[in-house]
Amino acid sequence: MTLQVLVVDDEPLARSRMRSLLASCDAVVAGEAGTAAQAMELLAHKVFDAVLLDVQMPGADGVTLARTLRDLAQPPAVVFVTAHAQHALAAFDVDAVDFLTKPVRVERLQEALAKVSRRGTPPAVIEPDMLLIQDRGRTERVPLPEVLYFKAELKYVTVRTASRSYILDASLADLEDKYSALFLRVHRNALVARRAMRALEKHYDPEEGEGWAVRLNGVDEVLTVSRRQLSAVREALAG
């Protein structure tokens, strides 16, 4: 089935890029809008399968529009597309199908549209994303929402939950690319769960000297924050 998509973004260049990306997917741009008001005008006359929705726009923002869409007789699936990853939690509070960060890769867009296609299709029980981890000859399924941080250690990545640690044969860069809406890079060797971030505090690191560290809910240890990522961590905590 070819999906009928409404693209809502106040930047014409962003809408143009999305048209180009959608040309590579099983979807068609059936409408475009630069504001929430324009989007509602289109939705009043046409049914769309999905809305690719920017968060920050003049007038009503994307999250406000998403809440309004839920009152429609045939509400479209909402996929947020934004450069501001700190809005991820608010996005999922309004039942967004997915959250894409700009610049959007065609592979992630295809994943999001696949979720739209599966929406309303059995099974009705939806499991959270799972990490498959090989541990002593067996495969562990670790729910992604339980992960507090990923930390690169030599050739492997430590996966930390509140109850234990795992070793994952993966690239930290790949994990960041796939889960950027849920995890924030705080250092060249660490990603932390946005939802678990509790505080930023002064910290002394034997290798890097005086600096900063982020404290997480669920574990006693703190993770060093690089100077390069300090402003992003502050912004995430403020949001």
Fold for the domain defined by 3-118: Rossmann fold (3.40.50)
Under 8 Å between Cβ of 52 and 76: no
Q: What distances in angstroms separate CA 184 from CA 26, 84, 151, 179, one per listed residue?
A: 31, 12, 12, 9
Q: pLDDT category, 151, cuts 50, 70, 90? A: very high
| Tens-place pLDDT, residues 170-193 | 899 989 988 888 999 999 999 999
Is the pLDDT reported for residue 209 higher than 90?
no
Is the pLDDT reported for residue 149 higher than 60?
yes
Secondary structure letter of residue 145 according to DSSP: G
Average pLDDT over residues 133-157: 86
The helix, strand and coil proportions of the chain, stated in percent and rounded to the nearest 5, come to 30, 35, 35
The confidence score (pLDDT) of residue 89 equals 57
List, in sequence order, the alpha helices (H) in the chain: 12-22, 36-43, 62-69, 88-93, 106-118, 172-178, 230-238
Q: Percentage of the chain surpassing pLDDT 70?
A: 90
Give the predicted TM-score (pTM) of the model. 0.51
Least confident of 88-92, 106-110, 203-207, 221-225: 88-92
The confidence score (pLDDT) of residue 125 equals 37
The confidence score (pLDDT) of residue 127 equals 47
Is the pLDDT reported for residue 141 higher than 90?
no
| Tens-place pLDDT, residues 81-115 | 988 766 555 655 677 888 888 889 999 999 999 98
Fold for the domain defined by 130-238: OB fold (Dihydrolipoamide Acetyltransferase, E2P) (2.40.50)
Whole-angstrom Cα distance, residue 6 to residue 37? 13
**Could you tell me which residues come within 8 angstroms of residue 11 by beta carbon, excluding any fewer than 6 positions away?**
54
Is the pLDDT reported for residue 123 higher than 50?
no
* Domain ranges within the chain, ordered by starting residue: 3-118, 130-238
